[in-house]
Chain A
């Protein structure tokens, strides 16, 4: 009663501190901070005692020690005498390589299957449906095992091969490709390529401006292809063909143990890479297909009808009206699929493809520096995730609907 009287007298209402939302908010947050700090202290102090007890020196100095183990795929020079840091770097590059190639093939297959899912042709439609439902309901690890242990075990052995166009050769040792050899003068082709890219960029800008001014179109795509591919090819012939292909050398005669592909001639894609890429791209493609299908279905049918009413054919309708609108729906989930693929590439460790986790695991076993190695893993994957999502957010903003 007295409180009411105070209120009417104009004094501020004084609620109990417990009922004040602001005070309670501060209290809860303080509790959380104390809990997090306490947990952190508990973990850190325990870890320090445990490390001292087990005589493990923490710190990053181990990265400079000699690794002493080799690898069957490295994009940069690496040998057994290289350091642990170098080994992790090799693993990191291999992760990036398998992720990039996997993303490329997953997008390709995913878009084809996603569009096939919408086909009027019953056979194609069902085939795409079965692909999606079959592949995405089977664990990725099982698929990697299937490609590596079942499929790649049934191809020809070391002394035989399968060849396509006499250029690509496949046997149990992996896929052999011709290797380009750059001779003196080939740097001009590189300059020509850069020139072509810059020129096609300006042509695109000019063509867009011309279309806005006059309405006339310009074959941007084909002129771009001509500039980017054509200019280096012309340079190649003008400079006197400075690049040759080194074909893999298959020895068919002589002692049986010497038969097979000669070492270090041509490019050898190791079977672990083939199996991992196949499994990753086929698995991720099944998710991308569903995303593409949903994205295209999200564009209302009225858009197609309006485009047809304007006189556009089926191809331009899809290319100029449907796909640009569908991309807005497709891109955000597509990003997370790319991230998933990158993270899933860590399953490489199961078939000993030398990726970051696999190389790191070997280093971990040899040095016992568990905290540092796992820290590196997490930091690398986290930053890859954050960079990709930042890039995709930027792209998404550019593609977003501009409301006038």
Chain B
């Protein structure tokens, strides 16, 4: 009887206590991630100070002090001695030039159609679940360039002017940036595949030629390639044969990016297990059917992220053409600074900020896409 008092059996569950407030919610998260130790707290405070000192002037410049509307430089001049903010009115006034260059304004619809077609074909190609990939790829890689070429440069059959000729000298802005980057990547793809296959070939001369070609173009800076294509290429051609300046740059850029593309494709080829080659050979396929039907479809799918990354690099490198006197987006912005109508202390900063935003949006978007594809393509090929 007395022993029963010595122990106690709980007959119902103890009430649930909430977790200590210091470990949950915002406070718990902050204690764990920001203030877990003295050194961590110091780092947090330094980090916040750095972030603030960078973001605050940027917001002040780009949003608070910014001038959104105006007809000329008067609107953007610093008011009564204060700091002047971004002059977005200037960007608005120059926007058509940044997008089309000096393309004649009555013909701009042609560029718009090219932009629209480009998007219309690229978006379904980029989304993995959309069907008709093969048809889409043929349209994008073969049909679209032809249409775009005639739309942009013009079409004259005999005496009949279907589309008036527009010299490439008046192209500029985003148009030139995209034309160079897209043509460079599309044209370098077949060349890059050929070089990658050549580098893995068992035939010594073909292998040597491929290696020398790839290592040569990868070893020299793009700027010397551009100088070469704009200064030396005319010397290589017979008398009387002249190339358009844009075409010369395109040839240089294509050869340059083909070398990088070859290395990307080679990575993909190396990732394909040997059994695939052997299986194809056991089925009696010759070299090209084996490559075309078995190896390349798998390898190219694997290297889509690599191709996108090469494209990002090329897209950024396109700005270099301004050094050989062409007007890509950055070149167009740079040249607009000389216009006295919009010459203010903040014009330069605004122009660079705009260029940075455009390039950043393109490149960041593409790099996200490349990461997305990389995760999507993790299909167990990697060893």
Q: Given A137-B364, A137-B367, A139-B316, is A346 in contact with B224 using a C-beta cutoff of 8 Å?
A: yes
Q: A46, B238: Cβ atoms under 8 Å?
A: yes
How far, in angstroms, from A377 to B317 measured CA to CA in the complex? 19
Which residues of the partner chain B approach A127 to less than 8 Å between Cβ atoms? 47, 50-51
Q: B47, A29: Cβ atoms under 8 Å?
A: no
Q: Given A343-B220, A346-B223, is A32 in contact with B238 using a C-beta cutoff of 8 Å?
A: no
Which residues of the partner chain A approach B219 to less than 8 Å between Cβ atoms? 378, 381-382, 385-386
Which residues of the partner chain B approach A123 to less than 8 Å between Cβ atoms? 34, 43-44, 47-48, 51
Q: Does B9 contact A (CB under 8 A)?
A: no
Please tell me the size bucket of the interface on A.
Answer: 35 or more
Q: B interface, by DSSP: helix, strand, loop or mixed?
A: helix
Q: Does B147 contact A (CB under 8 A)?
A: no
Least CB distance from A359 to B in Å reads: 13
Least CB distance from B258 to A in Å reads: 16
Q: A33, B216: Cβ atoms under 8 Å?
A: no
Q: Does B115 contact A (CB under 8 A)?
A: no
Q: Does A74 contact B (CB under 8 A)?
A: no
Q: Given A123-B34, A145-B334, is A32 in contact with B205 using a C-beta cutoff of 8 Å?
A: yes
How far, in angstroms, from A325 to B337 measured CA to CA in the complex? 51
How far, in angstroms, from A322 to B156 measured CA to CA in the complex? 67
Q: A interface, by DSSP: helix, strand, loop or mixed?
A: helix
Least CB distance from A27 to B in Å reads: 10
| Contact among A36, A43, A150, A385 for B236, CB-based, below 8 A | A43
Q: Does B232 contact A (CB under 8 A)?
A: yes
Q: Which of A110-168 contact B (CB under 8 A)?
A: 119-124, 127, 133-134, 136-142, 145-146, 149-150, 153
Q: Does A50 contact B (CB under 8 A)?
A: yes
Q: A47, B236: Cβ atoms under 8 Å?
A: yes
| Contact among B43, B205, B359 for A137, CB-based, below 8 A | B359
Please tell me the size bucket of the interface on B.
Answer: 35 or more
Least CB distance from B195 to A in Å reads: 12
Q: Does A90 contact B (CB under 8 A)?
A: no
Q: A142, B319: Cβ atoms under 8 Å?
A: yes
Q: A349, B33: Cβ atoms under 8 Å?
A: no
Q: A364, B231: Cβ atoms under 8 Å?
A: yes
Q: B239, A53: Cβ atoms under 8 Å?
A: yes
Least CB distance from B28 to A in Å reads: 13
Q: Does B2 contact A (CB under 8 A)?
A: no
Q: Does A390 contact B (CB under 8 A)?
A: no
Contact pattern, B 317-352, Cβ under 8 Å of A = 1, otherwise 0: 111101100000010001000000000000011001
| Contact among B239, B320, B349 for A150, CB-based, below 8 A | B349
Q: Does B36 contact A (CB under 8 A)?
A: yes
How far, in angstroms, from A344 to B228 measured CA to CA in the complex? 17
| Contact among A119, A124, A374 for B227, CB-based, below 8 A | A374
How far, in angstroms, from A259 to B317 measured CA to CA in the complex? 42
Contact pattern, B 26-43, Cβ under 8 Å of A = 1, otherwise 0: 000000011010001001
- Closest chain B residue to A344, Cβ basis: B221
How far, in angstroms, from A46 to B237 measured CA to CA in the complex? 6
Which residues of the partner chain B approach A221 to less than 8 Å between Cβ atoms? none
Q: A51, B235: Cβ atoms under 8 Å?
A: yes
Q: B322, A141: Cβ atoms under 8 Å?
A: yes
Q: Given A32-B206, A134-B360, A385-B219, is A149 in contact with B323 using a C-beta cutoff of 8 Å?
A: no
Q: Given A46-B237, A357-B224, is A141 in contact with B367 using a C-beta cutoff of 8 Å?
A: no
How far, in angstroms, from A134 to B360 measured CA to CA in the complex? 7
Contact pattern, B 191-214, Cβ under 8 Å of A = 1, otherwise 0: 000000000001111100100000
- Closest chain A residue to B44, Cβ basis: A123
How far, in angstroms, from A140 to B318 measured CA to CA in the complex? 11
Q: Does B125 contact A (CB under 8 A)?
A: no
Which residues of the partner chain A approach B204 to less than 8 Å between Cβ atoms? 29
How far, in angstroms, from A51 to B239 measured CA to CA in the complex? 11
Q: Does B356 contact A (CB under 8 A)?
A: yes
Q: B224, A377: Cβ atoms under 8 Å?
A: yes
Q: Does B355 contact A (CB under 8 A)?
A: yes
Q: Does B285 contact A (CB under 8 A)?
A: no
Q: Which of A358-393 contact B (CB under 8 A)?
A: 361, 364, 370-371, 374, 377-378, 381-382, 385-386
How far, in angstroms, from A381 to B352 measured CA to CA in the complex? 30
Which residues of the partner chain B approach A60 to less than 8 Å between Cβ atoms? none
Q: A124, B43: Cβ atoms under 8 Å?
A: yes
Q: Can you name 24 A-B residue pairings with CB atoms under 8 Å?
A: A46-B236, A47-B236, A50-B239, A51-B235, A120-B40, A121-B34, A122-B33, A123-B44, A124-B47, A133-B367, A136-B363, A137-B364, A138-B316, A139-B316, A142-B356, A149-B352, A150-B348, A150-B349, A344-B221, A347-B320, A364-B231, A374-B227, A378-B224, A382-B216
| 8 extra interface residue pairs, beta carbon distance < 8 Å, beyond A120-B33, A136-B363 | A47-B236, A49-B239, A50-B239, A120-B40, A122-B34, A123-B48, A141-B319, A343-B220
Which 5 pairs show the lowest CB-CB distances between chains A and B? A137-B363, A123-B47, A385-B219, A343-B221, A139-B316
